[in-house]
Amino acid sequence: MDKIKLTEDEVKDLTEVRANFQKTTLIIGETEIGIINLKGRKEDLIASLRKLDEKQSELAKKLEDKYGKGSISLDTNEFTPIEDDK
């Protein structure tokens, strides 16, 4: 069977498609790496949020032990006790 030479346009089209395929594949890989990095960052932020929540609970307990039940205004830096219904 004889070999058939491709036209310049056919070679150009095939080369362009292959280059675009490789470029798109590379972009997909970079995107996946970005997603992995974002997931890691999200996990770190969630861990930080949990620590802050624990610290907030500890501080609330400490203030309640000192002042009793009530509310705090950070705008006025004042504690307002809640009156017991007893």
Note the pLDDT tens digit of each residue in 9-55: 999 999 999 999 999 999 999 999 999 999 999 999 999 999 999 99
Residue 1 in any domain: the answer is: no
Return the sign of the alpha-carbon dihedral for residues 63, 70, 72, 50: positive
The predicted model scores a pTM of: 0.65
- Does residue 86 form part of some domain? no
Residue 86 in this model has a pLDDT that exceeds 60: no
Domain annotation covers residue 63: yes
pLDDT of residue 83: 80
* 3 inside domain: no
If you average pLDDT over residues 65-70, what whole number do you get?
93
Q: Is 2 within the bounds of a domain?
A: no
In terms of residue numbers, what domain contains 47? 8-81
38 falls within a domain = yes
Is position 57 within any domain? yes
What total of structural domains would you count in the chain? Answer: 1
Q: 21: which residues sit within 8 A by CB, 6+ positions away?
A: none
